[in-house]
Amino acid sequence: MGWIEKLLSGIQYLLPHHLLSRIVYAFMRIRLAPVKNTQITLIGSIIGVAWEEAKIENISEFETFNAFFTRELKPETREIDPDPLALVSPSDGKISQSGRITNDRILQAKGQHFSVRSLLANDPASAEFLNGFYTTVYLSPKDYHRVHMPFDGKLQRMIHVPGRLFSVAPYTVRQVPNLFARNERVVSVFETTHGTMALVLVGAMLVSSMETVWSGVVTPPRGKKIARGDWSRRNIQLARGDEMGRFNMGSTVILLLPPGAVSSMEHYEPGDDVVMGQKLARLR
Question: Catalytic site residues?
Answer: 92, 148, 251
* Peptide bond preceding 220 in cis form (omega within 30 of 0): yes
State the maximum Cα–Cα separation within the chain, in Å, rounded to a whole number: 54
Q: What angle do CA 268, 270, 275 make, to 5 degrees?
A: 60
- CA 243 to chain CA centroid, Å, is 12
CB 140 within 8 A of CB 269: no
CB 199 within 8 A of CB 255: yes
Q: What angle do CA 177, 110, 208 make, to 5 degrees?
A: 45
CB 212 within 8 A of CB 218: yes
